[in-house]
Structure 1
Amino acid sequence: MLSSCSNLLQSPVSIGFIMNPPRLPLSSKPCRIMCLREEGARSPRNTLEGSRRSADYHPSIWDHHLIQSIESSYSDERFTADLDELKLEAKYLLESYKEPSAQLHLIGSMQRLGVAYHLGEEINESLGKIYTNGLWPNHDVHQTALGFRLLREHGHSVPSDVFEKYRDEKGFKKCLARDVRGLLSLYEASHFAIDGEEILDEANKFSAMHLKLLEKQVDPHVAEQVRHSLEIPLRWRMPRLETKYFIDVYDRQECRNPVLLKLAKLDFNIVQSIHREEMRELSKWWNELGLAQKLKFSRDRLLENYLWAVGIAHEPQFSKCRVGLTKLICILTVIDDVYDVYGLPEEVKLFTAAVKAWDLEAMDTLPDYLKCCYLALHNFVNETAADIEKDHGWDATALFRKEWESLCEAYLTEAEWFHKGYKP
């Protein structure tokens, strides 16, 4: 995880990657004031300090000033204009491909290069026509497996018996055993199996076995792709990291399309500049909130949490999602560590009751260190709900309160089990 974070903060793809969000209004100053008490003022019950536990989490390896210093030239408007031109060229390119196999190959490349989201409607239309016309009886295993994977990935119910023609009475035909490209596609397609599809389970074992045998017999670049696929299949990979990897692979292919490659590199760097700006904004928020500085027993994992959010939704239009999700995970992690590690039984009961009451006056019952947690949670929920109401016209506060109450009650139950020595 840490090496992945480091990759995302490093240089752009030789033409990189990480994180311009709309600013979310923050009421962090009250919490900051409360958190600036003397270091020893963690709990009014100093006689019980000895019974507290510690998980010895290592401090964050990321420096706030370092994150603030990260800049990118790709936020300039001239790059956006270039991107629009390349997107139009890519659209014309997709429309010019008439053969289903050629369309599938192009769409597959677009997805792995991270630019398919620019042509979502066109890609869905192309795949819809291919699905309607059916997968082709005369195509090789590579084309069939590629089509099967892409169609299933986009929600089409392609039957797994399209692979029956590549089997005989003993299983998958031996003639496939040296077709590296076909085996790679078959292996990736097998991870889209539905429970009970034995033919795809067989395809997975067959392709994996022969890919391992061929790994040392093929071109080094192909061998590297084989190792990459066997290590983690496409379906399990984080799309943005896969894009960074595949841009380099595609750049070495003789059949690469220059328009697509240029679009992928430029888009990667523009999106990275957005991610970097989001990271700077989040680092400023986290630093001003002050939870990490005061509650040193908890995990300080801002960048790792942001990487999680990027893995879920990396596209530029989901900036608010990434920023909000990162804030959520940061606050949730601290509260989790209160219940699991640091908090005393009576303290976590009081915190759970305060969450149920959802009233700032409830903070008066809490020890000082929990007042920071409570106020951070209270502000985050109210600000997120206000943002949702502004954008979508409905108040989500009651829903948020219900879910946080449910979560804290579950945390409390786990804490009580631990202190009682109960194992469910």
Structure 2
Amino acid sequence: MLHKKELYEVSRWWKELDLISKLSYARDRVVECYFWTLGVYFEPQYSRARVMLAKTIAMISIIDDTYDSYGTVDELAIFTDAIESTYYLLATTSFIGMESVPKEAFDWLMKKPKIQVANVTICRVVDDIATYEIEKKRGQTATGIECYMNEYGVCEEEAMREFSNIAESAWKDINEEFVKENAVPRETMKRVVNLARLIDVVYKHNQDGYTHRRKC
């Protein structure tokens, strides 16, 4: 019942924004955004955090679609300048829902610790692997895989393998930092780890389960 109440709140907010009718290229995936939050904050007491994180992911999804399917290179350069300085602040908003999180945790995250950089890296490279074939069929040539192939003069298979190696290395960084980091509560760090775990679930078997809904 609590999950239904939260999803209703997020869905109503999303419907009132009405972005999908204004941005035809954007994906309408608010339920999937909420699913992500359940993996990050599954404990009942983090209801507020789940709602805030679901809204955050939905807005980041719009930004991602703008890069992939809409803006020109010149337009996106301006867009990047506008959001670059605020991205990490946006990514930390969900911690507000964890009322026990001290200010030190926010300060720590804003410094881009190694565990968070590894988290972002996993999200990026796993997404690039899973969406590559679809984006190639759409005629997109500026994908992460294509850029790597062109820059290093390697084949598609080798580029894919290297991206997988990058993700594996990032997982090692996450495990190492989770064990040795003492600057912030373990409860806070678990959220970073859980988000990386959800990436593995959503893009399981190198398939884009976020864009293309599938039965569990």
Taking structure 2 as the reference length, the TM-score comes to 0.45
Structure with the largest fraction of helix: 2
Highest RCO, 1 vs 2 (Cα 8 Å, sep ≥ 6): 1
Larger radius of gyration: 1
Taking structure 1 as the reference length, the TM-score comes to 0.25
